[in-house]
Structure 1
Amino acid sequence: MVGRGDLTNAEWERLEPLLPRGGTRGGRWSEHRKVINGVLFRVRTGVPWRDLPERFGPWETVYKRQRRWSADGMWEMLLARVQATENAAGRIDWDVSVDSTTARAHQHAAGARKTAPPAVSSKGAPRRHDPGRIDDSKPVRPPGGGGEAGECLGRSRGGFTTKIHLSADGRCRPLSIVLTPGQRGDSPQFEAVLNRICVPCIGPGRPRTRPDSVSADKAYSSRSNRRYLRRRKIRHTIPEPKDQRANRCRRGSAGGRPTGFDKQRYKRRNVVERAINRLKNFRAVATRYDKRAYTYLGTVTVASLAIWLRT
């Protein structure tokens, strides 16, 4: 019997062929479906790991699987393969929108050790570090007794927060995700978010990395962002703030041409807001309980995977 929030039979049929067959050190994995349902339950409800219902098996097994697959990029690989299947069927709307949201960090998210032992992958290899997904170029030390720098925790108007930068396709599904501390600005992460779009092809061919068009609010209006989009030949709709417009007009011909703006296309920018709402329906995404940035990134990726499977 399928519980509320568990993988349905149709969703499991899509996901099962993508999962690894072997286990660690020559052993066997615990039943994938039961463990993944346990991860989904925790991501959806935000309960402590020790409070997982017994029907998911030992809580340590579910927790270790989530942590291990967050460390070695397994969740990201599964998400990429599901996206590739959708793209092959022509079900991705490449009119992309970009925005960000902050997630309040619970007090349990603070206090990470300064020097933690390196995580290992499912094959025993050291965890890969992907600075494109986690921005720790300017590390912030979280308050509350120590803490390792670079865990994407910082102070903003919302308090102790992490910021999620993402792009979404025209069907309100996350395409790429970047984490930063909560006080970071949106515009500097614009290129990083778009550079993370990479949907593989099923069969020969290069992954698709360039959307048909990009929409964003005026927080992303800057010369560098527009120059980046023109260089990649991406149509874009980004409103120009009044101060930038006045400065351009004041400079005369040296200020450049007026920026183009398509009102009808900009009306579709709400798809990224709706994608954020879908992500924040998962309580472990709306409130960060994970100490490590890569573990929280895995939590957000699991929620994104569930959205793609269920849309």
Structure 2
Amino acid sequence: MVRRHELSDAEWEVLSRLLPPAGFGRPRINDRVVLNGIVWKLRTGSAWRDVPERYGSWQSLYTRFRRWALDGTFSRMLRAIQAEKDAAGDIDWVVSVDSTIVRAHQHAAGGKRGLETGDEAGDHALGRSRGGLSTKVHLACDGHGRPLGFVLTGGNTHDCTRFEQVMAEIHVPRTGPGRPRSTPDHVIADKGYSSRRIRAYLRRRGIRHTIPERRDQAAGLRRRGRAGGRPPGFDRAVYRLRNVVERCFNRLKQWRGLATRYDKTRESYQTAVTIASILLWI
């Protein structure tokens, strides 16, 4: 019987063939039990020590979670599933980009090293603003609202400064020969991404885009007259498709362990988002 917050048989069937093989030495705990415990913890937002005993020792669950997080196991699983979907023609390459703020719980405060120096690698993607410590998830999703790539920063980071990093995270391997696909057919974003640098980046890569101009930018072009150049094109019908990224964030934040950040380290929270993304793709 599948309990609440556990993997379904269909989800386990996909994940079981993507897990790394067991090594030598003592037999490891059943993989499905471990993954069920990890998913239960992330969906409920509970502490590791509060994971029910039916999933085994919480130390074993945490050790497996951190090991697979640090060696890239979960990231490779996500890429493999995306590759299969792309091979089946199931990825809509009209990509939407946006970000969302996640409040950091006091349990995550131990990871705030580096805030005084501004070293983002040291502060584990925690930024201080009026609301306290927070993390921002910058994400690109396909036309069906499934994450293609994401970047974590402190909550006080502006969206447009991480646009190119988010685009670089779109990296869908081929199941056969050929380079991984990293170029969308079209990119949709809100006014926070309206900048000359971003538009030039997209034109340079031959990517069509729909990004509305901010009022001050439009007014500046009008003041300059012909010297200002032509205003960028904007298709309202295409822009309405941007709601898929909002729905993607809503689905991710149904996981209590993602809606509020309890993890101290960047790697742990990034892995939590990756696991939720894997199950969205399945």
Q: TM-score when scaled to structure 1? A: 0.86
Distance, in Å, in 1 between the alignment partners of 2:27 and 2:88 is 33
Aligned residue type for 2:103: R
Q: 1:216: Cα distance to partner?
A: 0.3
Aligned residue type for 1:177: F
Q: 1:160: Cα distance to partner?
A: 1.2
Partner of residue 284, structure 1: 257
Q: 1:221: Cα distance to partner?
A: 0.1
Aligned residue type for 1:281: Q
User: Does the 8 Å CA contact 1:83/1:308 hold for their aligned counterparts?
Assistant: yes
Q: 1:113: Cα distance to partner?
A: 8.7
Partner of residue 160, structure 2: 187
Partner deviation per Cα, 1:43-96 (whole Å, 9 max, x = no partner): 100000001011111111111111111112111111111111111111111111
Runs of at least 5 residues in structure 2 that lack an aligned partner in the other structure: none
User: Does the 8 Å CA contact 1:162/1:181 hold for their aligned counterparts?
Assistant: yes
SS in 2 for 1:194: helix
Partner deviation per Cα, 1:6-36 (whole Å, 9 max, x = no partner): 111111111111111123x644432111101
Partner of residue 10, structure 2: 10
Q: 1:187: Cα distance to partner?
A: 0.4
Aligned residue type for 2:188: S
SS in 2 for 1:271: helix
Q: TM-score when scaled to structure 2? A: 0.95
**1:63-78 equivalent positions in 2, closer than 5 A:** 63-78=62-77
Q: 1:2: Cα distance to partner?
A: 1.1
CA RMSD of aligned residues (A): 1.7
Q: How many residues align?
A: 280
Partner of residue 198, structure 1: 171
Aligned residue type for 2:4: R
Distance, in Å, in 1 between the alignment partners of 2:135 and 2:247 is 19
Aligned residue type for 1:20: P
Distance, in Å, in 1 between the alignment partners of 2:118 and 2:258 is 23
Distance, in Å, in 1 between the alignment partners of 2:61 and 2:188 is 38
Distance, in Å, in 1 between the alignment partners of 2:96 and 2:112 is 36
User: Does the 8 Å CA contact 1:229/1:235 hold for their aligned counterparts?
Assistant: yes
User: Does the 8 Å CA contact 2:145/2:247 hold for their aligned counterparts?
Assistant: yes
User: Does the 8 Å CA contact 1:44/1:281 hold for their aligned counterparts?
Assistant: yes
Aligned residue type for 2:39: L
Partner deviation per Cα, 1:94-135 (whole Å, 9 max, x = no partner): 1110000010000010124969xxxxxxxxxxxxxxxxxxxx
Does residue 14 of structure 2 align to residue 20 of structure 1?
no
Partner deviation per Cα, 1:228-277 (whole Å, 9 max, x = no partner): 00001111000001100111222223322110101110000000000000
Distance, in Å, in 2 between the alignment partners of 1:303 and 1:87 is 19
Partner of residue 118, structure 1: none
Runs of at least 5 residues in structure 1 that lack an aligned partner in the other structure: 116-136, 141-147
**Of 262, 278, 281, which aligns to 1:305?**
278
Does residue 35 of structure 2 align to residue 55 of structure 1?
no
Aligned residue type for 1:85: E
**1:207-246 equivalent positions in 2, closer than 5 A:** 207-246=180-219
User: Does the 8 Å CA contact 1:139/1:152 hold for their aligned counterparts?
Assistant: no
User: Does the 8 Å CA contact 1:139/1:151 hold for their aligned counterparts?
Assistant: no
Partner deviation per Cα, 1:112-165 (whole Å, 9 max, x = no partner): 4969xxxxxxxxxxxxxxxxxxxxx9425xxxxxxx823111112432100000
Partner of residue 41, structure 2: 42
Partner of residue 29, structure 1: 28
Distance, in Å, in 2 between the alignment partners of 1:113 and 1:201 is 38
User: Does the 8 Å CA contact 2:113/2:123 hold for their aligned counterparts?
Assistant: no
Distance, in Å, in 2 between the alignment partners of 1:156 and 1:76 is 30
SS in 2 for 1:47: coil
Distance, in Å, in 2 between the alignment partners of 1:267 and 1:76 is 30
SS in 2 for 1:180: strand
Distance, in Å, in 2 between the alignment partners of 1:154 and 1:11 is 35
Q: More displaced, 228-237 or 252-261?
A: 252-261
Distance, in Å, in 2 between the alignment partners of 1:301 and 1:70 is 9
Aligned residue type for 1:196: E
